[in-house]
Amino acid sequence: MITEHDNYYLKQEEPYKSCLLVLKDIILGLDAEITPEWKYGLPFFYYKKKMFCYFWKDKKTQDPYIGICRGNEIEHYLLEAGDRKRIKIFRVNPNEDIDVKSLKEILNLAIQRY
């Protein structure tokens, strides 16, 4: 049975689909306690049963980003707060290589907050 979480990826067009699938694998590969969930109509990831991060698209550019749920507690030059109080985002250009090293660094900093 295909879950809503899986169906989200299947409905995306390239290069977004491939980009999001790689990001999903990176996130799930960080820790066995990270689980995929479907919340607020978005693909979320939980860490120890608490909201950890999610995928969404920028309204202007339509490029995907990862919203880090406790991002306000993390300082990293690649994270943007914008008008958000608790969440910071990590932007991803689906047409370029993902900065996997920085992404893992950011996500590991987030894991330390739980």
Give the CATH class of 4-111.
alpha beta
Give residue-wise pLDDT tens across range 72-102: 999 999 999 988 889 999 999 999 999 999 9
Write down the pLDDT at residue 2.
78
Q: Specify whether the CB–CB gap between 54 and 86 falls below 8 A.
A: no
pTM of the model: 0.90
Give per-residue pLDDT as tens, 7-63.
899 899 899 999 999 999 999 999 999 999 999 989 999 999 999 999 999 888 888
What letters, b where the CB count within 10 A reaches 16 and e where it falls short, cover 11-36?
ebeeebeebbeebbeebeebeeebee
Scanning the structure block, which residue is given the tokens 């860490």? 47
| Closest by CA position to 61, among listed 89, 23, 25, 100 | 89
- The widest CA-to-CA distance across the chain, in whole angstroms, is 40
- Look at residue 3 and tell me whether its pLDDT is greater than 90: no
pLDDT at position 101 is: 95
pLDDT at 53: 97
Q: What is the pLDDT of residues 56-78, one digit of tens each?
A: 998 888 889 999 999 999 999 99
Domain boundaries of the chain, sorted by first residue = 4-111
Rg over alpha carbons for the chain, rounded to the nearest Å, is 13
What is the pLDDT confidence band of residue 1, given thresholds at 50, 70 and 90? confident
